[in-house]
Structure 1
Amino acid sequence: MATEREKEILNFLGKKSPLTVEELAASLHVSEVTVRRDLTAMERQGLIVRKRGGASLPELGFEPMFNQRQKKNIELKQAIAKYAASMIQEGEVIALDVGTTTAELARELAKRSGITVFTSCIQVASILAKSNLQVYMIGGLIRKSEMSMVGSIAQETILKFNFDRFYLGIAGISQDAGPTDYSIEETEIKRAFIQRSKEVVALVDRTKFGESSLIKVCEAERIDEVITNGGDFGGPHPEAHFRGKITYV
């Protein structure tokens, strides 16, 4: 969760990006040392990109590292994961996407049995490795920044199977752009899972509504349900950006 000063920095960068440390310090009426400390913390969270002598907002194609995103909005992601896990029945065959919220879902499912899980995400497979679940890891080319499998081998493997439900992770969803993500390679894998799944459930924390990234994942109508957070949104309301079924947790 961003501090008040971090929110001010984001607000300034939203008006002009990049800004130097000196410019931010003058605008915030704090020391340059304080600004540098804030920028370091914000970079770890994936909120900004450090530039020489300053910072900027991430571009559409910029993907924060998995471990940066993992700590961001963790309580929101855990609430989504807990609800999603409660809806999965024994005997189902599901697919879990790469992503920090799907990793939280894997932690919930690790307590269960009688479920078959397919995934292209090494983190998810690692979490489930000691569980009582039947876990299939999709092979392919390792995308090292996300520790996930991509490429033609992964796509061809996915298309051989059928899934009851695919739990989709996305970078953002907006009325204009639809569901989007950072990576072309990851999006190809998402589309393969979507093609072979009876249902698609997107796990989208409330901060992602109104956001858009590099590439459109699918038509919004292909998503059967979005699970997100209730409460004070402090930004775009989900129903302004997704017209289908929304479950608030």
Structure 2
Amino acid sequence: MLPQSRRELILRTLRADGPSEVRSLADKLGVSQATIRRDLEHLDADGKLTRVYGGAMTLDPGEVNSDINGDINGDDIDDPFADVAAERAEDKDTVARAAADMVQDGETVLLDIGTTMHRLAHHLHGKRITVITSNLAVFDELRDDADIELVLLGGMVRRRYHSLVGFLTEDNLRQVHAGRLFLGTSGVRGDGAVMDTTLVEVPLKRAMIKAADQVVLVADGGKFPGVGVARVCGPGDLDVVVTTASADPATRLALQEAGVDVITA
């Protein structure tokens, strides 16, 4: 990643999460702490942030990043969630249905943020299960289903993305446990690494992985191979991948060689 791009991501993260430690920023961006320190020194010299002990904060802690949290101000004029939901809608529904078929009565499942998870929730009707999620679209889908015990994780509302995020959500995840996590992604690299384009979601996804016995990645073939600015996890953290036949064969092979059960819906 180019230094300028990395520094812009640092500023976005600070605006979204508030003051952050060097270690936390290095973990989120997948670089060394020394690299982060140099970037912070550069940004501080440019007057774009303030260094604090062990980390940094934006000059205006109340500033809200428009990409991540602008929806909180109520001035959103579009619906990114609906736009993403319309992309490869048929393929998303195919993998969502196959993933839902894995769930049996009595299970406790954890559903990630995203449009594919919304489709998966639609196919869970009729099952007697417990669903844990911070996905507001999933909540809306299942809220009136009396057979499903619904647990909504707390956190900061991202209205345009129909989700709850932040340290409160992560803290809630440390209090729960699921037999199975259905995980979404922005893309899967050729080596099987799971990526995401929204930094604020990365620590949340990692916390979800820790809260579940089994991790099932649900992603249509358009995300194989894919890209993202931050690495969520490696193939070793996955148990199952549910995708479509259009997924890149080399990427599927890399996942299988890592011991992941790849299901082609």
Report the TM-score, using the length of structure 2 for normalisation. 0.66
**Is 2:112 aligned against 1:97?**
yes
Q: Is contact 2:190–2:250 with CA below 8 Å preserved after alignment?
A: no
Task: Write the distance in 2 (CA, Å) between the matches of 1:217 and 1:92.
Answer: 25
Alignment of 1:12-23 (within 5 A): none
Q: CA deviation at 1:182?
A: 1.2
Q: CA deviation at 1:115?
A: 0.3
Task: Write the distance in 2 (CA, Å) between the matches of 1:166 and 1:239.
Answer: 20
Residue 152 of structure 1 is matched in structure 2 by 167
Q: Is contact 1:69–1:100 with CA below 8 Å preserved after alignment?
A: yes
Gaps of 5+ in 2: 1-66, 69-78
Q: Root-mean-square deviation (CA), in Å?
A: 1.9
Residue 255 of structure 2 is matched in structure 1 by 242
Q: Is contact 1:210–1:241 with CA below 8 Å preserved after alignment?
A: no
Task: Write the distance in 1 (CA, Å) between the matches of 2:182 and 2:170.
Answer: 17
**Is 2:202 aligned against 1:167?**
no
Q: Which moved more, 1:63-72 or 1:206-215?
A: 63-72
Q: Which moved more, 1:80-89 or 1:163-172?
A: 80-89
Q: CA deviation at 1:143?
A: 2.0
Residue type of the alignment partner of 2:264:
Y
Q: Is contact 1:91–1:115 with CA below 8 Å preserved after alignment?
A: yes
What do residues 100-132 of structure 1 show as CA deviations (whole Å, max 9, x unaligned)?
Answer: 1111000111x2231000000111101111112
Residue 217 of structure 2 is matched in structure 1 by 202
What fraction of aligned residue pairs are identical, expressed as a percent? 29
Q: Is contact 1:171–1:211 with CA below 8 Å preserved after alignment?
A: yes
Gaps of 5+ in 1: 1-61
- Aligned partner of 1:185 among 196, 200, 212: 200
Task: Write the distance in 1 (CA, Å) between the matches of 2:226 and 2:141.
Answer: 29
Residue 74 of structure 1 is matched in structure 2 by 89
Q: Is contact 2:192–2:234 with CA below 8 Å preserved after alignment?
A: no
Report the TM-score, using the length of structure 1 for normalisation. 0.70
User: Which contiguous aligned blocks of 4+ residues in structure 1 show a shift greater than 3 angstroms?
Assistant: 235-238
SS in 1 for 2:129: strand
Task: Write the distance in 2 (CA, Å) between the matches of 1:144 and 1:129.
Answer: 18
**Is 2:119 aligned against 1:112?**
no
Residue 121 of structure 1 is matched in structure 2 by 135
In structure 2, the CA distance between the partners of 1:100 and 1:241, relative to structure 1 (3 Å rule), is farther
What do residues 30-70 of structure 1 show as CA deviations (whole Å, max 9, x unaligned)?
Answer: xxxxxxxxxxxxxxxxxxxxxxxxxxxxxxxx899211110
What do residues 175-228 of structure 1 show as CA deviations (whole Å, max 9, x unaligned)?
Answer: 247100111111111111100100000001001001111111112110100000
Residue type of the alignment partner of 1:184:
L
Q: Is contact 1:98–1:120 with CA below 8 Å preserved after alignment?
A: yes
In structure 2, the CA distance between the partners of 1:103 and 1:83, relative to structure 1 (3 Å rule), is same
Number of matched pairs: 185
Q: Is contact 1:118–1:137 with CA below 8 Å preserved after alignment?
A: yes
**Is 2:239 aligned against 1:227?**
no
Task: Write the distance in 1 (CA, Å) between the matches of 2:195 and 2:160.
Answer: 18
